Amino acid sequence: SSSAPVKVFQAKNQPQVAFRNEVLQVLTKSGCNTGKCHGAATGKDGFRLSLFGYDPNGDFDRITNELGGRRVNRNAPEESLLLQKAIGFVAHTGGGPIAENSKEHELLIQWLYEGALNDKATTPIAVGIKVLPGQSVAASPGGIQKIIVVAALSDGSRRDVTDLSTFFSNNEGVAKVDKEGLVSLLSPGVSFVMARFDQFSAGTEIIVRSGEYFKYPSIVSNGTIDQLVDQRLQFLHIQPSPLGTDEQFLRRVFVDLVGQLPSESDYNEFLNDKDLDKRNRWIDRLLDRTEFQDQWALHWAELLQIRTNNGVSRKALKLYDNWLRDQVSQGKTIADIAKETISASGSTLSNPATNYFQTETTPQLIAENVAQVFLGTRIQCAQCHNHPFDRWTMDDYYDFASFFSQIGYKQGKDPRELTIYNAATGNIVHPLGKEGIQPRFLGENRPVQTDQRDLREHLAQWLTHPSNRAFSRNIANVVWSHFFGRGIVEPVDDVRISNPASNDSLLNYLADQLVANDFDIKPLVREICKSRTYQASTSKNPSNQLDEREFSHQKIRRLKAEVLLDCICQVTEVPERLPGLSKGERAVKVADGQAQHYFLNTFGRSNRNLACTCETKISPTLSQALHLLNGETTNKKIEEGSVIRTWLEQKVQPQEILTRITIRCLTRLPTVSERSWLDDQLQKNANTEQSLQDFFWAVLNSNEFIFNH
């Protein structure tokens, strides 16, 4: 055994209750200053508090001075309206959020007896918090884990603030946390439990294993990606799905890399190739095709919101889209594109990148879009209040927005032209009246040392610098999500403390690879596609049945609207007339996100109104099913294409035609039941052409065709 001396002093001294560190936190924990209650923009029932206490001085003034001071009775503290309503003694819309004789009740009484004072200038405030333990691993469900929150204060001291913190769980099916920080471990899986105190948020990962015997299988790794995924799966006691078949791989990689289906000749060549390295060779072949560039030009166009309904003329839009596609085809990286876009000045016709600043014209909205697209961070909440679930404060928001406060706009001689220039003057007004707003990068503590250059040039240089982990991690996450249907952080543009990466080591590695290749995504895409993780089957086993975030199996993903339409045109051999394009062009090349096209709109094409990945919708809907069943797209193209009629005229046997249909549409041979169906039809003396067209139509309407798997 061992011992250590302990010295206790001032044990009987009762410190004065701090308004910000204690009273406000009690109100926050009780839900008084949420958006549904008094934290709403206009308050509730005549009483307004700042949302989650972002404005302590304003809250103190409203509590103690409004209503002629009726909310606080310093002569008879127990009769204070603040207290009476909080415990439900006086009628209150929100009921009694604070229990009588609870610790919270006693703290408010003490504050009132002390005179309901505001904090002194010397009162220490929180400068950060830490949640303990940093990670918790339970062998099986059914237990309890206690969470402790420690605040670091401005005077260098530390304080246990667990009782004053607010708790949340991002997966209550796995781990549910109560107001005291006690976490109930309910079922196998992963949950992130977050604590909030003052303006700070922090969290801990809660892992609950199944409690069953687990032995990780011996699996061959194709590289670092697989190793990092395997490490995580082994830690979580999740067994990965096996490798997908050659047919599954071929269809998946064609759709993901070039937005098309493999042809019959592609299928036969690949399946007959006995080389063990054939998957890697085909990945390299597809990466060299121009259709790969088209895929990513479309992706960046969605994020840059290239569309016409925001004041961009059709001429400027076409130039903007052509510029972006030229950048991609010339091998310019997303870092190059971002840098040139953010710092762009000049005519919207002669320098198309300037059209980005027609998407939004207010500094705040431009800043929000830049943060969301290039940093994967949503700072919108911090415009009106400190972000309740992340680190961003109102000061962060307005300092960042000030980078765009000096953009000038001037109409050109051509009514379709606008000139974007550096006005060299202009500022942002802080809603709380704070002065001295200076440009400051997100996450940095000090303002930027500016010179005579455009403020946007400083931002563009910082944003795309290899040392900016937020940028490299975000782009790596965007690329990863394209191949798995979800990001390592999901949603990909919602990076925050309360939404951590499911595999942080993996995301860091991908970001490192991106930086090592000067932000060229092609080497990263190659490595992802060559991984066993990407090539895994979509089938599940008992241990990964519920896994949706650890990449233990591939995800069945509906094709994007543009890709689905292109694939229908490909297999029916009938081109689509698309807005702004000549006949025969592919849907992935449509320049205007607002261009009207029934099929594309119905199947969730991004209209590019928001800088959000949610704009592209891939969830099946009833209108989509009805259009495929009864609309012109599939029926008309089957009839117009005459593919089946041509084969019959060439004396191709019906069963061979059946095989050709399944190969070109589904990248597989027909099943026994499919062949039997056709035999039955032919024995009934049915119309051969009509029977085969019916089968073709059924295939195009099947989930197997509409989804990538």
Q: Encode pLDDT of 448-458 as tens digits.
A: 988 888 999 99
Which DSSP string corresponds to 604-635? T----SSSSGGGS--S--HHHHHHHHHSHHHH
Q: What whole-number distance in Å separates Cα of residue 150 and Cα of residue 696? A: 64
Mean pLDDT, the chain, integer: 92
Q: Answer yes or no: are the C-beta atoms of 345 and 404 closer than 8 Å.
A: no
Each residue of 413-447: pLDDT tens digit?
888 899 999 998 888 888 877 777 899 999 998 99
The three-point CA angle 238-532-283 to 5° equals 155
Q: Where are the domains of the chain?
A: 19-113, 126-208, 333-443, 558-575+596-708
Q: Is the dihedral of CA 317, 321, 323, 324 positive or negative?
A: positive
Q: Specify whether the CB–CB gap between 513 and 523 falls below 8 A.
A: yes
**HEC profile of 454-517:** CHHHHHHHHHCCCCCHHHHHHHHHHHHHHHHCCCCCCCCCCCECCECCCCHHHHHHHHHHHHHC
Structure tokens at 559: 């094709």
CA 283/CA 258 separation, integer angstroms: 10
Which residues, at least 6 apart from 627, have a Cβ–Cβ distance to it below 8 Å?
598, 599, 602, 633
Query: 3-class SS at 136?
Result: strand
In three-state secondary structure terms, 367 is: helix
Tally the C-alpha atoms within 13 A of residue 678's C-alpha that lie toward its C-beta: 22
For residues 9 and 379, which has the higher predicted lDDT (pLDDT)? 379
Rounded to whole angstroms, the Cα distance separating 602 from 544 reads: 33
User: Which residue carries 């001071």 as its tokens?
Assistant: 69
Separation of alpha carbons 125 and 18, rounded Å: 9
Residue 616 pLDDT: 77
- Summarize pLDDT for 349-401 with one digit per residue, the tens: 999 999 999 989 999 999 999 999 999 999 998 898 888 778 888 899 999 99
Question: Which is nearest to 202 in space by CA: 124, 125, 133?
Answer: 133
Confidence of residue 606 (pLDDT cuts 50, 70, 90): confident
Q: What whole-number distance in Å separates Cα of residue 261 and Cα of residue 258?
A: 8
State residue 15's pLDDT score.
84
Amino acid at 503: N
The pLDDT assigned to 633 comes to: 82
Q: Distance (Å, rounded) from C-alpha 69 to C-alpha 85?
A: 15
Q: What pLDDT score does 8 carry? A: 66
Q: What is the pLDDT of residues 253-264, one digit of tens each?
A: 999 999 999 999
Which tokens belong to 384?
């009106």
Q: How far is CA 622 from CA 194, 237, 383, 629, in A?
A: 38, 38, 38, 11
CA 629 to CA 635: how far, in whole Å?
8
- Closest among 457, 456, 491 to 474, alpha carbons compared: 491
Determine the Cα–Cα distance for residues 580 and 321; give it in Å rounded to an integer: 12
Say which residues have a Cβ less than 8 Å from residue 41's Cβ, sequence separation at least 6. Answer: 384
pLDDT 10s digits, 21-73 = 999 999 999 989 888 889 888 888 888 998 888 889 999 999 999 887 788 98
Residues 95-110, mean pLDDT to the nearest whole number: 88
- pLDDT value for 452: 82
Contact between 440 and 399 (Cβ < 8 Å): yes
User: What is the tens place of the pLDDT at every residue in 161-189?
Assistant: 999 999 999 999 999 999 999 999 999 99
Pick from 455, 321, 309, 302: nearest CA to 373: 302
131-141 pLDDT, tens digit each: 999 999 999 99
pLDDT digits (tens, 9 = 90+) for 621-671: 778 888 777 777 888 899 888 899 999 999 999 999 999 999 999 999 999
In the chain, how many H helices and how many E strands? 27, 15
- Nearest residue to 516 (alpha-carbon basis) of 613, 443, 395, 508: 508
Distance CA(643)–CA(624), nearest Å, equals 24
> Which residue has tokens 């594109």?
337
User: What per-residue confidence (pLDDT) applies to 175?
Assistant: 97
| DSSP per-residue string spanning 419-463 | EEEE-S------TT---------TT-SS-----SS-HHHHHHHHH
**pLDDT band (50, 70, 90) for residue 20:** very high
Q: Is the peptide bond before 133 cis (omega within 30 degrees of 0)?
A: yes
Q: Is 333 helix (H, G, I), strand (E, B) or coil?
A: coil
Residue 492 corresponds to which tokens in the numbers above?
A: 């990909």
Nearest in space to 300 (alpha carbons), one of 340, 337, 257:
337
Q: Which fold has domain 126-208?
A: Immunoglobulin-like (2.60.40)
Q: What are the structure tokens assigned to 389, written together?
A: 């679930």
Compute the average pLDDT of residues 122-137: 95
Q: How far is CA 225 from CA 446, 495, 505, 521, 551, in A?
A: 36, 21, 10, 15, 11
* 69/62 Cα distance (integer angstroms): 9
Q: Please state, in angstroms and rounded to a whole number, the distance separating the CA atoms of residues 228 and 551.
A: 11
Distance CA 384, CA 430 (A): 10
Structure tokens at 614: 């949610």
CA distance 91 to 82: 12
Mean pLDDT over 576-596 rounds to 92
* pLDDT confidence of residue 9: 64
Tell me the mean pLDDT in the region 101-128. Answer: 93
Q: How many residues does the chain have?
A: 709
- Residue 572 and residue 564: Cα distance in Å, rounded? 12
3-class state of residue 139 by DSSP = coil
pTM: 0.92
At 338-347, the pLDDT tens digits run: 999 999 999 9
Q: How far apart are CA 482 and CA 583, in angstroms?
A: 28
- Distance, in Å, from the CA atom of 373 to the CA atom of 491, rounded to the nearest integer, reads 12
Q: Is the bond into 491 cis (omega within 30 degrees of 0)?
A: yes
Sole residue written with tokens 């670092």:
224
Pair 704, 666: CB distance under 8 Å: yes
Please report the pLDDT score of residue 1 as a whole number: 61
